[in-house]
Amino acid sequence: MTDAHIEIDYESLPENAPMSAQLLAGAFAGIMEHSVMYPIDAIKTRMQSINTSRPVYTGILNTITRISSTEGSLALFKGLNSMVLGAGPAHAVYFATYEFVKRQVATNEDEVNPIKIAIAGSCATIAADALMNPFDTIKQRLQLGAGGSMLSTAKKMYLNEGIKSFYYSYPTTISMNIPFAALNFVIYEASTKFWNPNKNYDPFVHCFCGGLAGAIGAALTTPLDCVKTLLQIRGESSNEMIRKSNTGFKAAKSIYKIYGLRGFLRGLRPRIIANVPATAISWTSYEMAKHFLID
């Protein structure tokens, strides 16, 4: 077969691709995704927070106005260093695990098998979240307005709440991220196969399909994201019921008592607004990194 007839499958790295290529592509995708959309993520955290000592944030514009007028616009970037520090390694593990598991369970590279893709995506998020959860918890505390640096916040959490405080939300996080990751990978793989059947490197297709996957996944998993947020910021609350909510069930019960069923949809719009471009950026960056690393 001549070089003109050789086709490179850009939807997964070749089997002989070094692990370093997968890790670098994943780390690049994670840092790009979270850095660009970080202010929107901060707005979502404030809208999902429950604390009787602070004003309730009722909408995106209301949240931006309150934060900017009382804390300054740079407050939307508090905790960014914690996110970047964790996102690079976590996303490297995320995509590398996905590629590895997908190759192990795949029987036909040309077939988009939703079950096998979902299994690979679920394994990826379990591994990545184990690494990312402490950094994400610190990030949530800083986004909520906790004073100090990343290290001082971590030290305060450890001294006041113990090492468990970094992982209270882990069960809920993976309960949310497993279906999110499954939807993300299945929708992305299926849509790219539909719009890009030849599997050529096409940034526009990768961007569109990534955004589509992010929108659907974000919308369907918002209730669990509200529970996760409460578990991560419970130590900063003055509400005794919230401070005692150390499980997903207790957190869900607190949300329902305070806001009713609507409480599980708090932050829905900023979550979708953040995840559409974030997932699009993540997939586009990942595919771009793979493209240049392969060449």
Burial 237-251 (b: 16+ CB within 10 A, else e): beeeebeebbebebb
Where do the DSSP E strands lie in 134-208? none
Distance CA 102, CA 167 (A): 28
Side chain identity, residue 112: V
Give start and end residues of each alpha helix (H) in 199-267: 203-233, 240-243, 248-259
Distance CA 45, CA 76 (A): 10
Neighbouring C-beta atoms of residue 172, cutoff 10 Å: 23
Chain centroid to CA 174 = 11
Q: Give the dihedral sign, CA 52/54/56/57.
A: negative
Q: What is the model's pTM? A: 0.67
Q: Which residues contact 243 (CB under 8 A, 6 or more apart)?
A: 234, 235, 237
Residue 15 near residue 291 (C-beta atoms within 8 A): no
pLDDT digits (tens, 9 = 90+) for 96-110: 888 888 888 866 554
CATH fold for domain 15-294? Mitochondrial carrier fold (1.50.40)
Residue 231 near residue 45 (C-beta atoms within 8 A): no
Could you list the pLDDT tens digit for every one of the 295 residues in the chain?
Answer: 334 333 334 344 455 556 666 677 777 777 777 777 788 888 888 887 765 445 567 777 888 888 888 888 788 888 888 888 888 888 888 888 888 888 888 665 545 578 888 888 889 999 999 999 999 899 888 887 766 788 999 999 999 989 998 998 898 888 888 888 888 888 998 999 899 888 888 889 999 999 999 999 999 999 999 998 888 888 777 788 888 888 889 999 999 998 899 989 988 988 898 889 888 888 888 888 777 765 5
Q: Which of 118, 132, 142 is nearest to 30 (CA)?
A: 132
